[in-house]
Amino acid sequence: MLLYSILFPIFALLAILWFVYRYLKEKQSLGTVILWTVLWLFVILFSIFPKFSERFASLFGITRGLDFIIIVVFVVLFYIVFRLFNKIDILNEQINKIVKEVALNNEIALDDEEDE
């Protein structure tokens, strides 16, 4: 057995436990936990049974299992970056709204300076 087929599953199991722990502490949504658990389970599967990746690869017309894994990783990373961009955009919009609202409700008068 190769080193990676021992290390990767251990790391993946720890990651799954971490996500479950965060879900139980209500810091992570169920959807996110399921998504990441499925991904980490695939890491375990491909680490212990590398031949599996070739079967998956052939399903998509890709010859090498490693190529398939790299392509999947790229797709997942792009999706995460896209989601993060969207989230940041929404957060920015919400911050702008709050900052504007606070400013509009607090016109600065000369008395404000004297009070300080």
Partner 1 sequence: MSVEISNEDKRATYVVLPAYNEATRIQPVIEEIAQKGYNMVIVNDGSSDNTLEVIMESKKKYPNNIHIFSLMINRGVGVATQTGFDAVFRFNPKYVVSMDSDGQHSADDLDNVIEPLVSGKAQAVIGVRPLKDMPFSRRFANSVMNILTRIFYRVDVSDSQTGFRAITVDALKKIEINARGYLISSEFIREVNDNNIPFAEVPIKTIYTPETQAKGTNVKEAIKILIQMIKHQF
The residues that touch partner 1, with contacts defined as CB under 8 A, are: 92, 95-96, 99-100, 102-104, 106-108, 110, 113
CA–CA separation, 87 vs 15, rounded Å? 23
CA–CA separation, 2 vs 65, rounded Å? 17
Return all residues near 44 (Cβ < 8 A) that are at least 6 apart.
8, 9, 12, 13
Contact in structure between 67 and 42 (CB atoms under 8 Å): no
Among residues 48 and 95, whose Cβ is nearest to partner 1? 95
Least distance (Å) from partner 1 to the CB of residue 95? 7
Among residues 32 and 94, whose Cβ is nearest to partner 1? 94
CA–CA separation, 66 vs 75, rounded Å? 14
Least distance (Å) from partner 1 to the CB of residue 83? 16
Least distance (Å) from partner 1 to the CB of residue 77? 21
Among residues 48 and 98, whose Cβ is nearest to partner 1? 98
Least distance (Å) from partner 1 to the CB of residue 106? 7
Length of the chain: 116
